[in-house]
């Protein structure tokens, strides 16, 4: 009730994609929570040893290794990756497939391991639309009861 909730809606899914996502998610019902993955993710995000960022992923054990255990963001990431839907892919420039242009490059996306995602990644992703709840009809900011003054009665002057 008092938690801040964000709705992140994936953009561009067609009915077949939604059906595949739903089927994949339903096939995972009953899986248990992976507390080892929570610990590994915390080590990844808050490294105690002074290790360069590019080497942190190698320190992980990727959770318990049990495919019937997951955490919420891992579950969502794995579900979307089932479609190859991007969340926050790693982006690299690679040589283009053009034999006439040796110096040409193209953008290539690489999927991160699903156990390395956090809820914030879905919020930060440009591939998800943030949906905000609507204000109640008839909202009048002048009627708010601010801490430093009592609620005004009637229309504002």
Q: What is the per-residue pLDDT across 97-140, written as a single tens digit (0 to 9) for each?
A: 888 888 888 888 888 877 778 888 888 999 999 988 777 788 88
Return the higher-pLDDT residue of 145 and 155.
Answer: 145
Reported as a single tens digit per residue, the pLDDT across 40-92 is: 555 555 555 555 666 555 554 444 444 443 457 888 888 999 999 999 888 88
What does pLDDT average to over the chain? 76
Beta strands 69-70 and 90-95 are unpaired
Q: Positive or negative, the Cα torsion across 100, 104, 105, 106?
A: negative
Residue 138: predicted pLDDT: 85
Please give, one letter per residue, the 3-state secondary structure of the chain. Answer: CCCCCCEEEECCCCHHHHHHHHHHHHHCCCCEECHHHHHHHHHHHCCCCCCCHHHHHHHCCCCCCCCCEECHHHHHHHHHHCCCCCCCCEEEEEECCCCCCCCCEEEEEECCCHHHCCHHHHHHCCCEEEECCCCCCCCCHHHCCCCCCCCCCCCCC
pLDDT reading at 22 higher than 80: yes
Rounded CA gap, 63 and 73, in Å? Answer: 13
Is residue 153 very low, low, confident or very high in pLDDT (cuts 50, 70, 90)?
Answer: low
- Taking residues 17-24, what's their average pLDDT? 94
Q: What is the pLDDT of residue 141?
A: 86
Going by pLDDT thresholds of 50, 70 and 90, the confidence category of residue 16 is very high
């Amino acid at each position: 009730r008092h938690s801040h909730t964000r709705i992140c809606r994936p953009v561009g899914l067609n009915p077949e994609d939604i059906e595949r996502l739903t089927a994949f998610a339903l096939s995972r019902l009953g899986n248990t929570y992976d507390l080892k993955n929570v610990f590994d993710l915390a080590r990844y995000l808050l490294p105690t040893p002074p290790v360069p960022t590019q080497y942190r992923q190698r320190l992980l054990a990727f959770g318990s290794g049990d495919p019937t255990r997951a955490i919420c963001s891992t579950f969502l990431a794995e579900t979307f990756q089932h479609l190859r839907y991007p969340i926050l892919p790693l982006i690299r420039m690679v040589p283009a497939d053009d034999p006439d242009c040796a110096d040409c490059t193209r953008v290539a996306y690489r999927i991160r391991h699903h156990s390395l995602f956090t809820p914030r990644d879905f919020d930060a992703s440009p591939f998800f639309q943030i949906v905000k709840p609507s204000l109640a009809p008839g909202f009048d900011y002048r009627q708010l009861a601010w801490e430093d003054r009592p609620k005004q009665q009637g229309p504002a002057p």
